[in-house]
């Protein structure tokens, strides 16, 4: 039998009457229940008012391109899709790829074990596991198109089965034997068969924020919540409600998400609406003093009492110190993102809300231009007494033969007596200038201009002006990008706490059996540490720029004995599409011991060729490279010394080894090659 051990659904048996809560639910007084329902209603009213005032639905409609309706000229409408192009461009600039996380030990912390935990987190966030990028990009898009903040939920789920296993005798380590049957004693043990760490986007239309909140630091709020809508059968199973529960009449409620254009209705099964709320226990419970202790509360329509009310399953309190344990989430599992701030407001307008009036004006201008262009076709006055219907019909159809017969004598007064062209309306230059002004205003609002996107701007600009524009625009983008990275790192911190709490089994899959067991045994010794994003990770860098940077780094540091060149060489191999394992030589050549250094002291009188000892002196000095010495004089009765072979002359300086890239340091931007007149 499958049992769900998720922290989210309760595991208590289903209640019989609809007015009694499950036994695992923490009691909630009627006063508190009334308070929370009133808080939710006020927050819902505020959110709906913000969505209507900032025209979030209109933003979504403009984001979707709409073609010209040609069936009726008066109804022709144009959507230039400027919102689409700007949002996609800015989204890629804010978060291009999943950044790599680095763990930095705090002072006094042993950091030798942290790389293993960092590897665990980075692999878990990658596309092979959680695929956190698939959550972050839609969240950023919602901030740019619909509304800010956009909620996300971080958590853990698992499913266990009861498995019969032998009882192990703690004294012998062997299976215990039943003395009556002689068979091994068996016991039922819960075993995890499925688990997930998740980081999910929630619709911005579902977010509920306290009306008394006045900033965007959402983890400091007294509570956060979001609405949900699920099929009745799923709600019964998840919260173990009786079959007599039929929901609270969800058909007339506002959907907690933006209805997609052309989406069918959800009438296949009855739906149930609910609210998932996280609040600080000290906010309502006078017996709780720790301000970071969080409780979970879940209410559904048609059910009088909470279906979930408990201490957060993602937190524990150390009974000795009264502090939260290192495997506890600090803050809410509801983790919203907002790119900017608005004075005294937890809600922030999306980019498309700010540019909406200009986009509508641009759409209207383009629509008017098309209507004028299509309406200014050729109109001709004609004299029906001189042009019969057959001739007129042939002229209108445009397939008239070369010769068109007319009434006799009709051409005597000239063709201008028969027909005259009606003056056509001409589009003025002002209409196109207006469109350019609108696009310029939109670029100022979004921080996007022709220099940053590689387009051509009107008029010539100096290099200093272009550089200043680029620097100012980069600062604008970098500010919002840092906001995303700070939100990302805070979410990774919450996920890291969940990994420390629930990650023992998954560590075996990600790190391998040996290293996973090492991580599980050493996680209690990590100590305090901080989170950072590895420089340039997650950013878009074209391959040519990366090659140039890595080549320059290698040229500048290749002869530094204190650096490991193989690290840069491995990056170069990857840049050029080579396998570092095949390209790099991991076994270094054997180093031979250096020859001993011999020091010889020679006196001037020892260099007399007539001395008998000069023979040895000459041999030693010649072997040491000394040249030009006179040969020893043969003594009476001795053979002359052997002649040394002629030594070849010096070949000159060694050929200068060329640089890896002769133009490595040339950053002038000048076009190479000879000048052309």
Beta bridge partners of 102: 532
Q: DSSP secondary-structure letter at 667?
A: -
Q: Which helix (H) or strand (E) holds 369?
A: helix 351-375
Structural tokens at position 101: 């996380």
For residue 157, the SS3 value is strand
Task: Look at residue 511 in the predicted model and tell me its pLDDT.
Answer: 93
The pLDDT tens digits of the residues spanning 619-652 come to 777 777 777 778 887 765 555 555 555 555 444 4
List of residues 6+ apart from 549 with CB closer than 8 A: none
Chain position carrying tokens 């400091």: 220
Q: Output the average pLDDT for the chain.
A: 78
Structural tokens at position 461: 């600009």
CA distance 177 to 166: 9
CA distance 307 to 238: 10
Structural tokens at position 652: 């000159």
Structural tokens at position 222: 């007294």
CA distance 187 to 31: 45
Peptide bond into 149 cis (omega under 30): yes
Q: What is the pTM of this model?
A: 0.71
CA distance 284 to 279: 9
| Terminal-to-terminal C-alpha distance of the chain | 86
Q: Provide the greatest CA pair distance for the chain.
A: 149
Residues lower than pLDDT 70 in the chain? 1-24, 65-77, 249-252, 260-267, 370-383, 385-387, 394-474, 538-543, 586-598, 635-677
Q: Among positive and negative, which fits the CA dihedral 583, 584, 590, 591?
A: positive
Task: Look at residue 61 in the predicted model and tell me its pLDDT.
Answer: 86
Task: Look at residue 622 in the predicted model and tell me its pLDDT.
Answer: 79
Sketch the domain layout of the chain as residue ranges: 81-150+337-374+428-455+462-540, 543-581
For residues 126-164, one letter each, b for 16 or more C-beta atoms within 10 angstroms of the residue's C-beta and e for the rest, the string is eeebbebbebbbebbbbbbbbbbbbbbbbbbbbebeeee
For residue 381, the SS3 value is strand
Q: DSSP secondary-structure letter at 184?
A: B
Structural tokens at position 265: 């209705």
List of residues 6+ apart from 335 with CB closer than 8 A: 151, 152, 153, 154, 199, 218, 487, 490, 491, 494
CA distance 144 to 89: 11
Determine how many CB atoms are found less than 10 A away from the CB of residue 421: 10
How long is the chain? 677
Q: What DSSP line would sit under 270-330, residue for residue? A: -EEEEEEEEEEHHHH-TT---TT-EEEEEEETT-SS-SEEEE-TT--B-TTT-SBPTTS-S
Structural tokens at position 596: 């001993």
CA distance 412 to 408: 9
Task: Look at residue 16 in the predicted model and tell me its pLDDT.
Answer: 34
Q: Among positive and negative, which fits the CA dihedral 251, 254, 255, 260?
A: positive
CA distance 280 to 479: 31
For residues 236-267, one letter each, b for 16 or more C-beta atoms within 10 angstroms of the residue's C-beta and e for the rest, the string is bebbbbeeebebeebeeeeebebeeeeeeeee
The pLDDT tens digits of the residues spanning 16-33 come to 333 344 446 899 999 999
């Amino acid at each position: 039998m499958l049992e769900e051990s998720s922290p989210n659904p309760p595991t208590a048996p289903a209640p019989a009457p609809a007015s009694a809560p499950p036994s695992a639910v923490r009691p909630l007084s009627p006063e508190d229940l009334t308070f929370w329902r009133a808080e939710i209603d006020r927050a819902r009213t505020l959110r709906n008012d913000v969505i209507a005032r900032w025209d979030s639905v209109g933003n979504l409609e403009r984001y979707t391109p709409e073609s010209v309706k040609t069936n009726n000229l008066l109804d022709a409408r144009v959507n230039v899709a400027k919102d689409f192009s700007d949002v996609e461009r800015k989204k890629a600039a804010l978060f291009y790829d999943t950044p790599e996380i680095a763990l930095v030990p705090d002072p006094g912390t042993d950091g030798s074990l942290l790389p293993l935990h960092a590897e665990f987190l980075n692999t878990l966030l990658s596309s092979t596991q959680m695929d956190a990028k698939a959550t972050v990009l839609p969240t950023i898009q919602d901030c740019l198109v619909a509304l800010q903040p956009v909620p996300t939920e971080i958590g853990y789920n698992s499913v266990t089965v009861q498995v019969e296993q032998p009882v192990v005798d703690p004294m012998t380590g062997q299976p215990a034997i039943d003395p009556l049957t002689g068979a091994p004693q068996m016991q039922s043990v819960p075993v995890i068969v499925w688990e997930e760490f998740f980081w999910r986007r929630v619709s911005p239309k579902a977010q509920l924020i306290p009306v008394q909140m006045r900033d965007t630091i959402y983890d400091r709020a007294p509570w956060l919540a979001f609405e949900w809508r699920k099929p009745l059968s799923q709600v019964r199973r998840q919260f173990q409600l009786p079959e007599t529960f039929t929901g609270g009449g969800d058909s007339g409620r506002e959907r907690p998400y933006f209805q997609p254009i052309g989406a069918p209705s959800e009438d296949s099964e009855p739906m149930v609406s609910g609210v998932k709320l996280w609040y600080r226990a000290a906010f309502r419970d006078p017996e709780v003093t720790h301000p970071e202790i969080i409780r979970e509360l879940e209410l559904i329509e048609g059910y009088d009492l909470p279906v979930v009310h408990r201490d957060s399953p993602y937190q524990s309190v150390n009974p000795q110190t009264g502090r939260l344990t290192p495997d506890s989430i600090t803050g809410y599992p509801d983790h919203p993102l907002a790119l900017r701030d608005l004075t005294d407001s937890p809600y922030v307008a999306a980019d498309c809300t700010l540019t909406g009036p200009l986009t509508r004006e641009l759409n209207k201008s383009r629509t008017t231009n098309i209507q004028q262009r299509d309406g200014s076709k050729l109109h001709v006055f004609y004299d029906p007494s001189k042009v019969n219907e057959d001739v007129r019909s042939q002229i209108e159809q445009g397939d008239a033969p070369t010769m068109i017969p007319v009434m006799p004598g009709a051409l005597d007064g000239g063709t201008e007596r028969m027909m005259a062209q009606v003056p056509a309306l001409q589009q003025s230059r002002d209409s196109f200038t207006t469109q350019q002004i609108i696009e310029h205003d939109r670029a100022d609002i979004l921080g996007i201009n022709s220099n940053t996107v590689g387009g051509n701007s009107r008029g010539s600009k100096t290099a200093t002006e272009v550089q200043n524009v680029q620097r100012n625009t980069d600062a604008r983008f970098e500010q919002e990008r840092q906001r995303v990275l700070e939100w990302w790192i805070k979410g990774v911190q919450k996920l890291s706490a969940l990994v420390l709490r629930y990650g023992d089994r998954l560590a075996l899959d990600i790190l391998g059996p040996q290293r996973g067991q090492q991580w599980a045994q050493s996680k209690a010794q990590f100590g305090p540490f901080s989170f950072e994003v590895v420089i340039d990770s997650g950013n878009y860098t074209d391959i040519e720029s990366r090659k140039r940077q890595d080549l320059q780094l290698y040229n500048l540091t290749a002869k530094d004995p204190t650096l490991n060149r193989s690290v840069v060489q491995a990056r170069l191999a990857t840049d050029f599409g080579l396998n570092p394992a095949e390209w790099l030589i991991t076994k270094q050549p054997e180093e031979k011991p250096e020859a001993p250094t011999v020091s010889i002291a020679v006196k001037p009188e020892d260099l007399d060729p007539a001395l008998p000892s000069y023979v040895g002196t000459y041999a030693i000095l010649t072997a040491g490279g000394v040249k030009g010495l006179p040969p020893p004089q043969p003594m009476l009765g001795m053979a002359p010394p052997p002649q040394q072979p002629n030594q070849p002359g010096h070949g000159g300086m060694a050929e200068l080894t060329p640089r890896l890239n002769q133009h490595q340091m040339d950053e002038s931007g000048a076009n190479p090659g000879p000048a052309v007149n």
